[in-house]
Each structure stands twice: as C-alpha cells, then as structure tokens.
Amino acid sequence: MKIAVTYSNGDVFQHFGKTEEFKVYEVEDNKVVSSQVIGNDGLGHEALAGLLADKDIDLLICGGMGEGAKNALKAAGLEVVSGAQGNADEAVDAYLRGELESKGVNCDHHDHEHHHEEGHSCGHHDEDGEEGCGNCGGGCGGCHTPEIILEGKNAGKNVSVHYTGTLDDGTKFDSSYDRQQPLEFISGAGMMIAGFDKAVVDMEVGQKVNVHLEPNEAYGEYDPERVLNLKIAELPGSENLSLGQQVYLQNTMGGAFPVTVKALTEDTITLDANHELAGKALNFEIELISVNE
C-alpha cells in the first residue's frame, strides 16, 4: 500500500491544489517500511490526481479538500482522508491506528491571488484563513468545480494523455512515458499550462501533436519582482535554510506560496518565487490516449 501526504517542512500542507510536494509512504503489514518526498511536476488542482495515480498511490492524506478535487481523486481510484493537520508522519501513524477521521469536502471558496509585498512568514502557514475556510488558509486550489474556459470537442471531459517535454536545447524536463502512466485531467478547465490545454482540447484519440510554447503560454516570463531580498532577522526560521531549498512563505491574505533559496549571507537571504521553468520556451510531444465524459 502507498500513502501520499500533502507535504511542507514536515507537516501536512493545507492546500491540496497548491501543494508543491507529497511525502509518499510504503506500507506493509500496517507499518511504514519506507518514505520519500516527491514534487508535484508543476501541476495543480484536479490534475494532481493523475500524478498520484501515476505513482500507484492508494490513499491521500491532506488538509483542505474541495468537491472538484475529491471527484478527480475518486475517479483515479484513490481513497482520501482530508482535514488532517500537524506532523505528516504522525498523521500516517494515526491513520494506520484507525484514529484519523476524514472531514470530507471542507473547502468552499475560490483561490485568492497571492501577494508578497509584506507580511512574510517562513514555513507552515496558519490554519485559520480568509473567508472561513478553516483547513485551507487563504485558498486551496481544487476547492470548487472547475470552470471550463476553453472551447473544443474535449472541453469539460476527462482526458488521458502521454507527453514528453523538452527545452529548445533538447533537454528533457518531464515525460509521462518515463513514468509509464498517462496524465489525466479535465480538458479546457485551466488545470494545465495554457498552451498544453489548448493543444489537447481539440485532439482526436490516438493523435500525436508537437507544440512549441513561448513563456506566455507556459509558466510566464521570469519576473524580477518575484525575487525577494530579505534580512535574516525579518524572516524567523530562515537562518536554518540552505541554498536551493524550497520553502513556503505566507502572504498578506493568509495563503502559502513556494519560493526557492537563491542566495544566502550571514545577514540576508534571497528567495525566488518564480517557477523553475519561468521565462523558458517549452516543447511538448502530446499523445491523446482517451476521452471520457
């Protein structure tokens, strides 16, 4: 059995749709025999269900959970225990003891845009957020049924695709073929980067296409204003960080967003909130495997 937990700095991360990491536990005879932390492959919302299915996950333990995400996870064959808080390892132990109760769908509002001009805190964000969504903080991705924003024959349908992503120099940055499991998501709902979504929304089953995406259709241009230069003393806990480490900051709305440590001195720290592929043109070979209503 494999259990995945939305994960940040040792704790259960409270935004299912915004989690950047999962901690995956291999369980045998009701005991954890191994664990590892994996990234989210740049996905969000219900598309994360496909990622977890690709990893042969049987159970997800998370904080906030919305109806759309719940349905996608159910369709992918995953059991869900939502509403968990605190240390991730302890949450898994509690589940194995039969003491962890699921809260079901526990988020009912749309995501807030995150801002980062002030009010930073490092690590796990507060549990009480805006608009009364107790377990989600300021927003939780997957908290609502997705709005269909594109037109096409596959719009609003569950699709399954294989893909390989490369940079212009030929470097491969991702491939579902390597994982031997296709990616599943709702076409036309904005769950994928714009250019990828647009390519799939009108494809035929069995068709393969090659698309070249400029940054505006991928992860956007690199934004220097998303690079934060802070004093160590102004960000409690930052003195324990290391170069290249990814952590979360809390914005003024109460939500969490990921940043990467780019530079460190004795007194200052530089954090980059840009996606690692921001500013880069991307190439995808995409194969549509199936379409379901």
CATH number for the domain including 167?
3.10.50.40
3-state secondary structure 142-159: CCCCCCCCCCCCCCCCEE
Question: Measured between alpha carbons, how far is 10 from 86 in angstroms, rounded to an integer?
Answer: 8
Q: What is the pLDDT of residues 104-147, one digit of tens each?
A: 544 433 333 333 333 444 543 333 333 222 222 233 333 445 57
Half-sphere exposure of 293 (CA within 13 A, CB side): 0
Domain count, the chain: 2
286 occurs within a structural domain: yes
100/163 same-domain check: no
Residue 99: per-residue pLDDT? 85
| CATH number assigned to the domain comprising residue 11 | 3.30.420.130
- Structure-token pair, residue 43: 């996905």
Residue 265: per-residue pLDDT? 92
Question: Measured between alpha carbons, how far is 233 from 241 in angstroms, rounded to an integer?
Answer: 13
261 occurs within a structural domain: no
Task: Name the residue range of residue 68's domain.
Answer: 2-104
Residue with tokens 């377990």: 135
Which positions of the chain have pLDDT values less than 70? 41-47, 65-68, 71, 103-146, 250-256
96/30 same-domain check: yes
184/284 same-domain check: yes
172/92 same-domain check: no
Considering only CA atoms, which of 16, 5, 19, 14 is closest in space to residue 60? Answer: 5
